[in-house]
Amino acid sequence: MKSLHPIISILLAVFMVVGLGAVSFAQEVELEFFQNKREAVETFDRLIEKFEKENPEINITQNHVPDAETVLRSRLARNNIPDIMGLGGNFTYGQIADAGIFKNFDNASYLKDIQPAYKEMLQDLHEGNSNYGVPFTANANTVLYNKDKFKELGLDIPKTWDEFITTAKTIQENGGTPFYLTFKDAWTIMVPWNSLAANLQGENFIKQRLANETTFQARYQKVAERIYKLLDYGQDDVFGYGYSQGNQAFANGESFMYIQGVWAINPILEANPDINLGAFALPAVNDADENMLVSGVDTVLTISKNTDHPEAAEKFIKFLLKKENAQFYIDQQMTFSAVENVFQNDPTVVDLKEYFESGKIAPFPDHYYPSGMQVPNLIQGFLHRGNVEEFLEKLDSEWNKVQSR
């Protein structure tokens, strides 16, 4: 009988190599989590700390930088791709997905736990119907209002555009400021713009515009007229104040309403914890049953398809999608969850609940505009000059210019 010692020795050597390799792997998994939301850094830090306690073999380094999209594009050009990314669900995300940078999540079992509407919003941003990211959170454009000030004048939440303007007139006639507008920061103009455009542009505008079957001049006349109308009811020098100043001014009671997203709620409450704050959907149309709340994917989670540690990266995403962690995030950030059966229960946004329950949700139109158009700056220029026809013609010419590149 041949001796088994040589075979055993070989097997032991193999086990030692494999075992040492496993230990080495466990000690060396370092993942970069690149995410674009400054206000979420601390919340993600706490979730990362929890994840690392549960998974001591994996270290996550969060990386947030100003102008994250520009930085990410620069890194992609150098093939320096983060392992895990938390990005806005917008045109840039769609472009990167089309470039083949992200992992394909079509076979991920946890996709079934994501609300279908938000998956579809992301799919509409790129070619085909695959899933190159996982919707994590959603936000919403709203009109924030001071409940106590409304009560003083006996005002109800307006349900139609005409009621909205009548409410603003009533406030003005009683010596108040209806809206605090922060149009010094061009991006803040997109809050009312998106609410109006989503409800007024008509069906399939983006698809038809891409096919050159329609134009901004044909479909955006009312959008332009109504956003310009808001200037009549803002404070003096609406182009002299930015987002942070607006948060503080509204918290101090300097206006009855503040057209902003749900992301502004926490800064306002930090400035004035005693403010009696509410939120409603901007009523862009005169049929209340037709009005939709603009809500889109605030953060989409994705992974580089070439990461050295795909299993560890996916483990982090699955961790974030657990109900208790998804709930923690939206409670901290005052956003909404894309995960099924995870609800935002803060009383400030109770009046938005009906839109989510009834499915009266529309995506952010600007998420589908080519990023090179610089739409916020174009709208800002229009609001200075007030020429609707010239403005709409400019939108079309800029669209055509970017699409022809």
Q: 3-state DSSP helix/strand/coil percent for the chain, to nearest 5?
A: 55, 15, 30
Q: How confident is the model at residue 357 (pLDDT cuts 50, 70, 90)?
A: confident
- Asked if the domains at 30-138+296-348 and 140-294+362-403 fall in one CATH topology, the answer is yes
* Dist CA 296 CA 298 (whole Å): 6
Contact 168, 358 (CB under 8 A): no
Q: How far apart are CA 122 and CA 148, in angstroms?
A: 39
Average pLDDT over every residue of 198-217: 95
Give ∠ CA 84-85-91 in degrees, rounded to 5. 145
In the predicted model, what is the mean pLDDT of residues 335-357? 90
Rounded CA gap, 393 and 255, in Å?
34
CA angle 247, 235, 275 (to 5 degrees): 35
Residue 27 has what pLDDT? 59
Token pair, residue 270, equals 């930090």
| Residue 132 neighbours by CB distance under 10 Å | 25
In this structure, the number of other CB atoms found within 10 A of the CB of residue 344 comes to 22
Give CA separation, 252 vs 178, 235, 312, in Å. 14, 14, 46
User: What are the sequence ranges of the domains in the chain?
Assistant: 30-138+296-348, 140-294+362-403
Is CATH 3.40.50.920 what the domain over 140-294+362-403 is classified as, yes or no?
A: no
Instruction: Give pLDDT tens digits for 286-299.
Output: 999 999 999 999 99
Tokens for 314? Answer: 């996916």
**What residue has token string 């399939």?**
204
Q: pTM of the predicted model, to two decimals?
A: 0.81
Quote the strand ranges of 225-292, DSSP E: 257-261, 277-280
Task: State the average pLDDT over residues 209-229.
Answer: 97
Percent of residues, the chain, with pLDDT higher than 90: 84
| Local confidence band at 14 (pLDDT 50, 70, 90 cut-offs) | very low
Q: Residue 261: pLDDT above 80?
A: yes
Tens digit of pLDDT for each residue in 26-82? 457 999 999 999 889 999 999 999 999 999 999 999 999 888 889 999 999 999 999
* In the predicted structure, residue 118 carries a pLDDT above the cut 80: yes
Neighbours of 106 (CB within 10 A): 10
Q: What is the pLDDT of residues 384-397, one digit of tens each?
A: 999 999 999 999 99
Q: Is domain 30-138+296-348 classified as CATH 3.40.190.10?
A: yes
Q: For residue range 297-345, what is the model confidence (pLDDT) as tens digits?
A: 999 999 999 999 999 999 999 999 999 999 999 999 989 999 999 989 8
Residue 11 pLDDT exceeds 90: no
Pick the range with the lowest mean pLDDT from 200-204, 255-259, 315-319.
Answer: 200-204
